[in-house]
Amino acid sequence: MIIYRQSARVLVQGITGKQGTFWTQKMMECGTRVVAGVNPKRAGEQHLGVPVYATAKAAMAESPFDVAVMFIPPAMAREAALDAIKAGARTVVILTEHIPARDVIAIHHAAARHRTRIIGPNTAGIVTPGEGFVGIMPGHNPNIFQPGEIGVISRSGSLGTLICLNLTRAGFGQSAFLGIGGDPMIGTTTRDALQAVDEDPRTRAVVLVGEIGGAMEEAAAEYAAGMAKPVVSFIAGRASPPGKKMGHAGAIVSGTLGSYDGKRRALEAAGVAVADTPAEIPGLLGAGPRDRLRQPAAHALSV
């Protein structure tokens, strides 16, 4: 599961900590179905009205869940992720950043064996306005997120928040926000997320927020070329100097590999409209190069 649905049952690992408590409250206020939490030191207690267990395995036995979200420090992230994966989580949302590379590899290996979807590491989470959210995105803020028909994909939580704010101000609601994460080794790629919103019947158009470095945007462009739904994009890092580590993943641009120009050319060749600034995105949705996008910018696309 990449797109959050309100029917999904959520386990919060690290629920009793300051951040876990705050964001669990916000998730629940939005309708997220949090059924349990994990903290080995407080197993057997109730926190925020849900039971706390020593492990995800113990939680699954008594309070079955579909999605696990981790408010766990880097040194303990591998153990927590493997616990959730082996317990049978369909999806694990890994908010933690700076997890050692060997631990991330172990997490992805276990997830592949157990057919668990990993979102992250270093993700801000996923949001479905009107249904709920999982993570640390401000899904509870109606000035930023409103139900609608635009799917938004972003590695950056802050940049994704800005894009959604601009969309909402322009009258475009979101069908889903997918924060795929900023780790060098993420479990859900831009292409994976693009396919998910393409297959989502609630989504009419897609905003893809990319970054320099790597080849995820190029792979997504190949998929976008065959899509019926229109896609617009913004690529961060246009002014970044070559040969320097930039962005979440410390991506290095060498020549045209992973460069802004290379990504933009690939996207535009696939029929994707690319904005120069985030502020231009609502306008591209309202008056893009494809006839399907020719709708008033102040109103959400209608079915």
109 catalytic? Reply is no
Residues 212 and 103 in one domain: no
CATH classification of the domain holding 82? 3.40.50.720
> Does residue 130 fall inside a structural domain?
no
- Sign of the alpha-carbon dihedral angle for 283, 127, 143, 182: negative
Domain count, the chain: 2
Tokens of 62: 């008594």
Q: How many CB atoms lie within 10 A of CB 21?
A: 17
> Does residue 1 fall inside a structural domain?
no
- pLDDT of 56-90, one tens digit each? 999 999 999 999 999 999 999 999 999 999 999 99
**What average pLDDT score do residues 42-50 get?**
98
Residues 74 and 149 in one domain: no
Residue with tokens 């535009």: 268
Catalytic residue among 47, 114, 248, 299: 248
- Report phi then psi at 2, rounded to 5: -105, -45
Residues 176 and 240 in one domain: yes
User: So what's the pLDDT on residue 297?
Assistant: 37
> What gap in Å lies between CA 152 and CA 35, rounded to an integer?
27
> Does residue 298 fall inside a structural domain?
no
> What gap in Å lies between CA 100 and CA 98, rounded to an integer?
6
The model's pTM: 0.90
Angle (deg, nearest 10), helices 216-224 and 190-198: 20
**What average pLDDT score do residues 9-13 get?**
98
> Does residue 285 fall inside a structural domain?
yes
User: So what's the pLDDT on residue 237?
Assistant: 83
Range of the domain at 238: 141-293
What is the DSSP code string of 147-180?
A: EEEEEEEES-HHHHHHHHHHHHHTT--EEEEEE-
